[in-house]
Chains A and B, each alone.
Chain A
Amino acid sequence: MDMRLPAEMASFASPHHTTGIALGIEGVHKRFDKVTVLQHIDLEVRQGEMLCLLGPSGCGKTTLLRIIAGLETQTSGRIVQNGRDISWLPPVKRDYGIVFQSYALFPNLTIAENVAYGLVSRKKPKADISARVAELLKLVGLPTSGEKYPAQLSGGQQQRVALARALATAPRLLLLDEPLSALDALERIRLRGEIRRLQQQLGVTAIMVTHDQEEALSMADRIVVMNHGVIEQIGTPNDIYERPATPFVADFVGKVNVLPAVALGQGRFRAGRLELHCSGEHGDYTPGQAVRLYLRPEDRAVGHEREGQPNRVRGEVLKVEFLGSSCLAEMQIDELEGQSLHLCFSLNQLHDLGVHAGARIDLALRSERIRVFPAIAGGARL
């Protein structure tokens, strides 16, 4: 795929590339009969950013996207696009391009006719249209497929055509509804890079719905994590992964160990017979309060990284799960009765430290990485 941005493509780039709010969602609420699907969603989408709506199925992310597109109606709340209130406009009167999981290519039209579909009705000269179609097909890496029918292309190629069709009319907003979910693993990884580069080149604001955290982490400028119709956290991929705002986010994005513990005050907590120091954001817990400590598998120090670190522990490897370039070891820490930790080691560490079932390993649990949440029944949010 040709990744250079041709000069004539400048027309695709959004004029407000820098800052500013492309889309404002204000108090959007959605009820189907008696089921509340979205609860007072407030969200601002910045010009030119790629925003991912991430969450498990049924969290309301697709409903939110369809409300933005005008395919569903909100029960209450407003949607403002570039200063224009579009809350109650029918889809035809809104400005966006959309790509669906099912591609939704017109099967009886050629690839070129599919891409030109939105251009033809704008009464542009034929030569202009075919030039634009050629540009777009080149942009998505299918310059010679114009005469083919959708059924002749692979899934990934069809989704590229759908993308070209959505971008053809130079919309200021691109909506992507699980665009990669129907593709096989390899094609998915290739296309997610291409969509991201294209979106950045054209500077088009994009909102993508996905249930795949890896997809969201690798593509998004910002991620909106949703659960049960509410926003759990909005942040950059780094924020979301390293500083999850809620237990749900910590649990849903990446792997995490959860340790029941009791606060001792001043960033100290007791889990089992182990006293752990927490130097990151650890909240203000009164001594004696029950909490849960969240620790990712890679947040451990081994070998000489341990020097000068608090939270030194020793444990026995129970079993090792091989994952390719790394492995996940289930360990019984000596002072943590009845609870094992899953810790991640690179292949090199596996060999250097002799990580295998039955081995005893010295570690430190990284104090700045431990996240603390109050232990409310069911692990609910604050």
Chain B
Amino acid sequence: MSARAATLARPAVGGRRLGLSREDIIARGVLLAVMLFLVLFLLAPMASIFARAVQDNDGNFIGFTHFVEYLQTPALLGAAWNSIWVAATVVVISVPLALTFAYALTRSCAPFKGTFRLIALIPLLAPSLLSAIAFIQWFGNQGVLKPLLEMMGLASIYGAPGIILSEVYNTFPHALMILLTALSLADGRLYEAADSFGTSTVRKFFTITLPSCKYGLISASTVVFTYVISDFGAPKVIGGNFSVLSLDVFKQVVGQQNFGRGAVVGLLLLLPSIASFLIDSRVRRKLRAQLSARSVPYAAKPRRGFDALMAAYCALVCALLLAVVGMAIWTSFIKLWPYDLSLSLRHYEFALVDGDLASAYTNSLKMAVCVAFFGSLTVFIGAYLTEKTRGLELIRPLMHLLAMLSMAVPGLVLGLGYIMFFNHPNNPLGFLYSTMPILVLSVIVHYYTSSHLTAVTALKQIDNEFEAVSASLKVPFYKTFFRVTLPVCLPAVLDIARYYFVVSMATLSGVVFLYSPDTILAAVAIMNLDEAGDIGPAAALASLTVLTSVAVCLVYAVATRVLLRKTQAWRNVARH
């Protein structure tokens, strides 16, 4: 009764919270740490750009002077216009190409669909520089197909035509993945109903197929548009004197050390990204609503003529895609284009052993391994704590917002923010600047969103009461995390790790501001080699990057199969 008397003296007040156990404190502490990481490495750098845009080089507040100056410089405005029309052109070419390809993969019975799909995704594994190098080899001043270019009335591949070609190659798989999802959500019953009225194939395409993948088309278009606007590799290599926004940021900051002007251009670069991020998240919500609606999946029926046509189309596209990678690989092996076409490994020797950039490849490997390991762990733990633990209800939405925000920030802008934030003389974290850890952290942050969404999807699929059950059994949540949740979600975690590895090998725009001579990365080295005219070694390094990612994907496929057979035995048991 004394207990009762004691608690009666302390009446229960509305809004009081449960007492904290040791585990609660751990869960909240770790969640706060993940959020602090995102605040420091995403939010703070972005804030620095805003601050810097209204300061002069000595840190005095100058209002909108930089903006006014910018708007009064016709050359710079021209760059903005160039960026926009080039990106729009790429959308107009890339999205229909990808739509037809996705249509062939989902709606026809063409043979080799699996192979076509794999080949179409290869551009994802390459730095955006690779395609530019390959197109120079095909169409450049000494290119194999230069006459073809002249026949089409184009004087040179350098400039807009080259950028457009390269970006179509780079964006094709991004558009394809979105459109594949959109098309595979189709409701088979609509087509059956149409067939019962004897509707023609063309009419079905325009009245059922196109409207049903409307959101997919919008999403693919915004993703392609943003990719092109913020890509930096292709314009750098094949752009010639054609100026675009992303190159402008680079020139202002690296060339002229004009950080204020750089910040202004960076903010301009952020605009289309944020706009398409908003459009995309709206559209995705609608896409999800479509997905949850009850529908019968469409199953394609064999039609010989149509299937043959679709297979021919896919084969052609794949041949073109392979021609690009193939040209890069070939370039990397021949002695001296176009005079001595005998094969040798000298470019590889130069890129990996002799040159000043010899450490680039191993640096990239090291970074990719670190990003894959720490990134997948951070992302998964962050997603787990947001999804499955309680408390801190007020700041939990912020965590989700931060995780989604990273997608809206182009790599170049993120890198710019890092310079301004970490290079600031008063920042105690300044010691990180131009070290390997900051490269690793920047890449983790840059690709946080898709990794986070993968983790959240996997976590949503497991029972919501595991934490409640283990609390009732007096087992701390972290034991259940390591013993149950992590093993059950292992496939998703490995998936995130592979994704992080591949993007780390290829990424350029985020890290181009952050490397030092000691931490130079493959993509940066390719850029520098190309600039120095060493196109052979550049191609060698680019090819090596692609082949490494291909190898990692293969190892991943085999390893997960073996590993999953061991650790996921419970998945494949038959019921008795």
**Chain A residues within an 8 Å CB radius of B575:** 151-154
| B472 pairs with A166, CB closer than 8 A | yes
Residues of A near B69 (CB, < 8 A) are: none
Among A31, A90, A152, A166: residue with most chain B CB under 10 A:
A90
Judge whether A357 is part of the interface by a CB distance below 8 angstroms: no
Residue A83 is within 8 A (CB to CB) of chain B in the complex: yes
Q: Which of A73-81, A206-214, A269-277 contacts B (4 or more CB under 8 A)?
A: A73-81
> Once the chains bind, are A108 and B568 in contact (CB under 8 Å)?
yes
For the complex, is A235 an interface residue (Cβ under 8 Å from B)? Answer: no
Closest CB of chain B to A380's CB: distance in Å? 27
Task: Establish whether residues A121 and B473, one from each chain, have CB atoms under 8 Å apart when the complex forms.
Answer: yes
A-facing residues in B1-41 (Cβ within 8 Å): 1, 3-4, 6-7, 12-21, 23-24
Indicate if A150 sits at the interface (CB-CB under 8 A). yes
Evaluate whether A169 and B473 lie within 8 angstroms (CB atoms) in the complex, with A75-B15, A76-B12, A100-B465 already known: yes
- Please, which residue of chain B has its CB at the minimum distance from the CB of A104? B465
> Do residues B7 and A69 form an inter-chain contact, with CB atoms below 8 A?
no
**Chain A residues near B13 (CB, 8 Å)?**
76
User: A169 near B474 (CB under 8 angstroms)?
Assistant: yes
Residues of the A chain whose Cβ atoms lie less than 8 Å from the Cβ of B17: 73, 88
Q: Is the interface of A mostly helix, strand, loop or mixed?
A: loop
C-alpha gap A76/B470 in the complex (Å): 26
A91 at the interface (CB under 8 A from B): yes
- Of the listed residues B466, B469, B574, the one surrounded by the most CB atoms of chain A closer than 10 A to its CB is B469
- Residue A70 CB within 8 A of the other chain: yes
- Chain B's interface size range is 35 or more
- Cβ of A281 to closest chain B Cβ, rounded Å: 36
B571 within 8 A of A: yes
Residue pair A104, B469 in contact (C-beta under 8 Å): yes
Q: Is B151 part of the binding interface, using a Cβ–Cβ cutoff of 8 Å?
A: no
* Interchain CB contact (< 8 A) of B463 among A76, A80, A104, A166: A104
Output the least CB separation between A301 and chain B (Å): 50
Q: A90-B24, A97-B472 are in contact. Are A80 and B12 (CB under 8 A)?
A: no
- Specify which chain A residues have a CB less than 8 angstroms from the CB of B559 in the assembled complex: none
Q: From the candidates B18, B479, B484, B573, name the one contacting A73 in the complex (CB within 8 A).
A: B18
B294 at the interface (CB under 8 A from A): no
Question: B18 contacts which of A31, A70, A100, A109 (Cβ < 8 Å)?
Answer: A70
In angstroms, how far is the closest chain A Cβ from the Cβ of B296? Answer: 25
User: Which positions 73-118 of chain A face chain B at CB distance < 8 Å?
Assistant: 73-78, 80, 83-85, 87-94, 96-98, 100, 102-104, 106-109, 117-118
Interchain CB contact under 8 A, A104 and B18: no
**Which residue of the partner chain A has the closest CB to B477?**
A92
B19 contacts A93, C-beta separation under 8 Å? yes
Q: What's the nearest-Cβ distance from chain A to residue B349, in Å?
A: 48
Once the chains bind, are B472 and A91 in contact (CB under 8 Å)?
yes
Point out the residue from B20, B475, B570 that lies within 8 Å of A107, measured CB to CB.
Answer: B570
Which residues of chain A come closer than 8 Å to B301, judged between CB atoms?
A: none
User: A12 at the A/B interface (Cβ < 8 Å)?
Assistant: no
Q: Which residues of B contact A97 (CB under 8 A)?
A: 472-473
Query: What A residues does B576 contact at CB under 8 A?
Result: 148, 152
B-chain residues with CB within 8 Å of residue A78 when the two chains form the complex: 7, 12
User: Judging by beta carbons under 8 Å apart, are B473 and A152 in contact?
Assistant: no
CA distance A93 to B473 in the complex (A): 10
Chain B residues closer than 8 Å to A107, beta-carbon distance: 462, 484, 488, 570-571
Q: Are A89 and B573 in contact (CB under 8 A)?
A: no
Tell which of B472, B475, B571 touches A69, judged by Cβ atoms closer than 8 Å. Answer: B472
Q: Which chain B residues lie closer than 8 Å to A248 at the CB level?
A: none
Asked if A122 is an interface residue, CB under 8 A from chain B, the answer is yes
Asked if B320 is at the interface of the complex by the 8 Å CB criterion, the answer is no
Contact B473 A117 (CB under 8 A): yes
B483 in contact with A109 (CB, 8 Å): yes
Q: Report the interface size for chain A: residues with CB under 8 A from the other chain.
A: 51
B159 interface hit (Cβ, 8 Å): no
User: Which residue in B1, B16, B468, B484 is a CB contact (below 8 Å) of A109?
Assistant: B484
- Which of B6, B23, B573 is within 8 Å of A151, CB to CB? B573
B161 within 8 A of A: no
Chain B contacts for A91, CB-based, 8 A: 468, 471-472
**0/1 interface trace, chain B 259-276, chain A, CB 8 Å (1 if under):** 000000000000000000
* Interface residue B293 (Cβ < 8 Å from any Cβ of A): no
Contact indicator per residue, chain A 129-157, by CB within 8 Å of chain B (1) or not (0): 00000000000000000001111111000
CA distance A85 to B6 in the complex (A): 10
A84 touches which of B3, B14, B464, B574 (Cβ 8 Å): B3
Set B18, B472, B479, B483: member contacting A89, Cβ < 8 A: B18
> Do B19 and A90 touch across chains, with their CB atoms under 8 A apart?
yes
Interface status of A342 (Cβ within 8 A of chain B): no
How far does the alpha carbon of A192 sit from the alpha carbon of B21 in the complex, in Å? 35
Is A152 in contact with B574, judged by CB distance below 8 angstroms? yes
Q: Is the CB of B473 within 8 A of A85?
A: no
Closest chain A residue to B462, Cβ basis: A107
- The CA-CA distance from A106 to B483 in the complex, in Å, is 9
Bound together, the chains give a CA A13 to CA B479 distance in angstroms of 29
Q: Tell which of A85, A89, A168, A175 has the most Cβ of chain B within 10 Å.
A: A85
* Distance of A250 from chain B, by nearest CB (Å): 35
Residues of A within 8 A of B21 (CB): 90, 92-93
Q: Residue B569 at the A interface, CB < 8 A?
A: yes
Chain B residues contacting A77 (CB-CB under 8 Å) are 12
- Min CB gap B472→A, angstroms: 5
Q: Is A152's CB under 8 angstroms from B475's CB?
A: no
Does residue A71 face the partner (Cβ distance < 8 Å to B)?
yes
Tell whether, in the assembled complex, residue B473 and residue A108 are in contact, meaning their CB atoms are under 8 Å apart: no
- For B472, give the chain A residue with the smallest CB separation: A98
CA distance A121 to B478 in the complex (A): 12
> Which residues of A lie under 8 Å from residue B23 when comparing CB positions?
90, 92
Contacts of B3 in A (CB 8 A): 80, 83-85
Minimum CB distance partner of A118 in chain B: B473
Q: Is the CB of A96 within 8 A of B488?
A: no
Tell me the bound Cα distance from A103 to B462 in angstroms. Answer: 12
**Max count, chain A CB within 10 A of own CB: residue among B4, B476, B487:** B4
Give the nearest-CB partner of B17 in chain A.
A73
Which residue of A is nearest B16, CB measured?
A88
Q: A87-B12, A91-B472, A117-B473 are in contact. Are A149 and B573 (CB under 8 A)?
A: yes
**Hey, which chain A residues are within 8 Å of B15, CB to CB?**
75
Contact partner of B573 among A102, A152, A154, CB < 8 A?
A: A152
Q: How far is the CA of A2 from the CA of B576 in the complex (A)?
A: 22
Closest Cβ of chain A: how far from B568's Cβ, in Å?
Answer: 7
B556-576 near A? 1/0 per residue, CB < 8 Å? 000000000001111101111
When distances are taken between beta carbons in the complex, the residues of chain A under 8 Å from B487 are: 108
User: Nearest-CB distance from A170 to chain B (Å)?
Assistant: 12
Which residues in B have their C-beta under 8 angstroms from that of A117? Answer: 470, 473, 475
Which A residues touch B464, using CB under 8 A? Answer: 102
- Chain A residues near B7 (CB-CB < 8 A): 78, 85, 87
Chain A residues whose CB sits within 8 angstroms of the CB of B479 once the complex forms:
121
Give the shortest distance, in Å, between A223 (CB) and chain B (any CB): 24
A74 and B13 CA atoms in complex are apart in Å by 10
Interface assignment of A371: CB less than 8 Å from any CB of chain B: no
Query: How far, in Å, is B3 (CB) from chain A's closest CB?
Result: 6
Among B466, B567, B571, point to the contact of A104 (Cβ < 8 A): B466
Beta-carbon nearest neighbor of A171 in chain B: B472
Q: Is the CB of B19 within 8 A of A102?
A: no
CB of A165 within 8 Å of the partner chain: yes
Which of A80, A84, A98: most chain B Cβ within 10 A? A98
Q: Which of A69, A108, A171, A175 has the most CB of B within 10 A?
A: A108
Which residues of chain B are near A94, meaning CB under 8 Å? 472
Q: Is the CB of A80 within 8 A of B570?
A: no
A residues less than 8 Å from B18 (CB atoms): 70, 73, 88-90
Query: Could you name 6 residue pairs across A and B whose Cβ atoms are closer than 8 Å?
Result: A31-B14, A73-B18, A75-B15, A88-B12, A92-B471, A94-B472
Which 6 A-B residue pairings sit nearest by Cβ, starting from the closest?
A118-B473, A91-B471, A104-B465, A149-B570, A90-B21, A106-B484
Task: List 10 additional A-B contacts (Cβ < 8 Å) besides A78-B12, A121-B473.
Answer: A71-B468, A76-B13, A80-B3, A84-B3, A87-B12, A92-B474, A98-B469, A118-B475, A148-B576, A175-B472
